[in-house]
């Protein structure tokens, strides 16, 4: 079933590694909420009346929204779309926002899942990343969320940083395991273009990511989570049984979704569109009270996906998950190409096949991007 993603493009400060769309000025937060509500009205038919199985507030830092602002957005979502009673409703949050008052306010909204950007429990790591919170707040927010009754928690961690020794990475994971956390997302630090980290590395002010160092921490991550009953169901995601992230899983399995807010993407099964990644332009377009046609207003760009693009996207997402790539879900026009190009990886044990379903082996997970790229079709 489809879902809605809402991009909240504000942060207190810029993390050194982040290349997502956001602004550190909160002056237009109220206007942005009004624009998001307006876009929800104008995009009400995109999902063709299908019931929502998930709603996801991402960013940016959605926890900067007040309880009243969230309720205002929720009222419009529920007005425009049927929502399943058991819908997964996630809010990304930073630890420094999750004090007792904020958590109580969130309990009064439909939010039933928190995705908390911990990244590390070590001060040196947090300073290197330029996170807005400290190590004490990292622990306190988990304890406060649990006390307020939020049992559906997922935490984000980052490994591979030059400041994260193997001992520190082990401590970060052991800290997570102290709590009843059903879901964990762990990402390798990457140096993205035009970020502060990219500038520091190019100027010699920060060490580049060491692949061997990062791979060792990824191996430890897989071993430690497996020992504690987590299922490694996507390259960067680990869940206790029954706690897979429903919203993100719908992306990986090709479900339709509507993206609201600046830079947000939407997908309807055959086409994709992405909103302008500029707060001022987004606000200007949605501020036009006579606006009826978003395409003519140039709010988004639109692309009809070619068969080759749909094939490539299925390979890219499917191969990263425990569900793998099923031959029956691949366009038959690409069967011969896929079966020929996957053979070397089967022979090396990097891809495993069972009942015409192809999954990465544990060794293959270290080469996920390379393997997927080798299976991509360039035919259009």
Please provide the distance, in angstroms rounded to a whole number, between the alpha carbons at the two ends of the chain.
29
**CATH number of the structural domain spanning residue 362:** 1.10.10
- Token pair listed for 36: 């998001």
Given a cut of 70, whether residue 20 has pLDDT beyond it is: yes
Is 300 among the domain residues? no
Regarding whether 240 and 157 lie in a shared domain, the answer is yes
Regarding whether 23 and 145 lie in a shared domain, the answer is yes
Is 272 among the domain residues? no
End-of-domain residue from the set 251, 268, 283: 251
- Token pair listed for 241: 């049984």
Average pLDDT over the chain, rounded to whole? 95
CA atoms within 13 A on the CB side of 136: 1
Regarding whether 323 and 190 lie in a shared domain, the answer is no
Regarding whether 157 and 44 lie in a shared domain, the answer is yes
Per-residue pLDDT, 379: 61
Regarding whether 244 and 329 lie in a shared domain, the answer is no
Read off the pLDDT of each residue in 246-270 and give the average, rounded to a whole number. 94
354: β partners: 357
Regarding whether 215 and 117 lie in a shared domain, the answer is yes
Helices 29-42 and 67-80, packing angle to 10 deg: 10
Read off the pLDDT of each residue in 274-303 and give the average, rounded to a whole number. 89
Distance CA 153, CA 171 (A): 19
End-of-domain residue from the set 251, 283, 315: 251
Q: Which residue has the tokens 């958590």?
A: 103
Distance CA 367, CA 349 (A): 12
**CATH number of the structural domain spanning residue 240:** 3.20.20.70
**Greatest C-alpha distance within the chain:** 61
Task: Note down the domain range covering 86.
Answer: 3-251
81, 45 Cβ separation under 8 angstroms = no
Long-range contacts of 240-246 (CB under 8 A, 24+ apart): 240/182, 240/183, 243/152, 243/182, 243/183, 244/183, 245/88, 245/90, 245/154, 245/183, 246/3, 246/53, 246/54, 246/88
**Model-level pTM?**
0.95
Domains in the chain, number: 2
Given a cut of 80, whether residue 380 has pLDDT beyond it is: no
Regarding whether 344 and 242 lie in a shared domain, the answer is no
Higher pLDDT, 293 or 314: 314
pLDDT band at 313 (very low <50, low <70, confident <90, very high): very high
End-of-domain residue from the set 203, 221, 251: 251
Is 291 among the domain residues? no
Is 297 among the domain residues? no
């Amino acid at each position: 079933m489809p879902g809605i993603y809402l991009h909240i493009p504000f942060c207190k400060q810029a993390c050194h590694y982040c290349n997502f769309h956001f602004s550190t000025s909160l002056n237009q937060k109220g206007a942005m909420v009004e624009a998001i509500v307006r876009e929800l009205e104008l995009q009400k038919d995109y999902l063709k009346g299908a019931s929502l199985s998930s709603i996801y507030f991402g960013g940016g830092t959605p926890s900067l929204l007040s309880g009243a602002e969230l309720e205002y957005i929720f009222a419009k979502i529920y007005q425009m779309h049927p929502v399943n009673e058991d819908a997964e409703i996630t809010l990304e949050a930073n630890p420094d926002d999750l004090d007792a008052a904020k958590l109580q306010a969130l309990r009064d909204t439909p939010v039933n899942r928190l995705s908390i950007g911990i990244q590390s429990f070590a001060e040196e790591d947090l300073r290197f990343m330029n996170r807005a919170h400290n190590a004490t707040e990292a622990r306190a927010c988990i304890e406060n969320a649990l006390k307020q009754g939020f049992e559906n928690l997922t935490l984000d961690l980052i490994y591979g940083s030059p400041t994260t020794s193997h001992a520190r990475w082990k401590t970060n994971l052991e800290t997570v395991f102290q709590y009843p956390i059903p879901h964990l997302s762990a990402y390798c630090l990457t140096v993205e273009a035009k970020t502060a980290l990219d500038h520091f590395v190019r100027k010699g002010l920060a060490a580049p990511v060491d692949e061997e160092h990062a791979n060792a921490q990824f191996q430890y991550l897989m071993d430690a989570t497996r020992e504690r009953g987590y299922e490694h169901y996507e390259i960067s995601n680990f869940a206790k049984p029954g706690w897979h992230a429903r919203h993100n899983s719908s992306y990986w399995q090709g479900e339709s979704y509507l993206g609201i807010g600046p830079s947000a993407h939407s997908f309807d099964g055959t086409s994709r569109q992405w909103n302008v990644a500029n707060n001022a332009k987004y606000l200007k377009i949605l501020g036009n009270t006579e606006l009826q046609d978003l395409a003519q207003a140039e709010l988004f760009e639109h692309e009809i996906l070619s068969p080759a693009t749909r094939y490539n996207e299925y390979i890219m997402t499917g191969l990263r998950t425990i569900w793998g790539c099923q031959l029956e879900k691949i366009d038959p026009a690409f069967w011969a190409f896929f079966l020929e190009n996957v053979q070397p990886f089967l022979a090396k044990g990097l891809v495993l096949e069972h009942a015409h379903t192809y999954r990465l082996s544990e060794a293959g997970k270290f080469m996920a991007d390379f393997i997927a790229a080798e299976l991509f079709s360039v035919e259009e």
